[in-house]
Amino acid sequence: MQIGMIGLGRMGGAMVQKICAADIHVVGFDADAQSVDALVNVAGFDGAYSLDSMLNAMPAPRVVWIMLPAGRDTHSILEELRFKLTPGDLVVNGANQLYKTSVLEAETFRECGISLIDAGVAGGVHGEAHGYCIMLGGEAVAVKRIERVLNGLAPAANQWLHCGPSGAGHYAKMIHNGIEYGLMQAYAEGFSLLSAKREFDLDLAAIAENWRHGSVVRSWLLDLTADFLKRDRALDGVAPVVPDSGEGRWAAQEAIELSVPAPVLSAALNSRFVSQGEDEYSAKLLAMMRKGFGGHAVVVTENK
């Protein structure tokens, strides 16, 4: 089997290595030539330095997976692919994109005879080691075509989910990330309270490690928190700035549109809005956890 991968950054590059390890040939393209060069020694990978050269290296019908940031970059590539691909080809959009946009794009591609699958991909920079949680939207026959790729990326065979029609994969990922906002906020506030009880001189790293075993609040987020606190208890190396990448905002808007109460998700989103410039322990911990999942925290170069 062969697949084209567009976007070879931290996540896309890691996915390429897992796909190649599953004995699937990957032709990869990235606008940054260095990202292509970084994978040249991976068995089963061939690099391409333009979109055209990637497509020309793949016999039809082709499967192309996009792992680019949501927004302009993904939209531009999709537009280009719509005119350069041929009927029978298949595209997987792995960007975190508003599901309503995915529904419209799928219809546009369908009119051209091209299948478009929306894929919510969770796991971040740790997915290469542990496997990715993948949520898919689109036609069942199209999802069946990439089953071998999905099994190569998932934690185990068939541990991925076809959620429903076009848009369903990105919708599930949107809600997933909204829940993640709430979990991160709860941990951040809890550890902020522990930090504030100075007369007890609590060892936050030890408490986090204790909670990882047998507690009902154990989770992968807690694992990341415990590991980070062992190295930087005061979080001096993290600025209290927590951006929102869109999914939490979309989830909160969806709650409003459906008249479904979602106070935790909304409050977590608002906490990110107010974190700009606020020197609070909880904001620092939120930034740290986001960094642990492949986001970008702002590193402080000097103490104020």
Catalytic center residues: 173, 180
Which residues make Cβ contacts (< 8 Å) with residue 98, sequence separation at least 6?
Answer: 70, 170, 174, 246, 250
Residue-wise over 38-66: b if at least 16 C-beta within 10 A, else e?
A: bbeebeebbbbeebeebbebbeeebbbbb
CB 120 within 8 A of CB 113: no
Task: For residue 22, count other CB atoms closer than 10 A to its CB.
Answer: 16
Query: Interhelix angle for 204-211 vs 168-196, to 10°?
Result: 130
- Give the whole-angstrom CA distance, residue 49 versus residue 281: 44
3-class SS string, 221-282:
HHHHHHHHHHHCCCCCCCCCCCCCCCHHHHHHHHHHHHCCCCHHHHHHHHHHHHCCCCCCHH
Q: How big is the chain, counted in residues?
A: 304
Residue 156, SS3?
Answer: coil
Whole-number CA gyration radius for the chain: 21
The whole-angstrom separation of Cα 63 and Cα 151 is 15
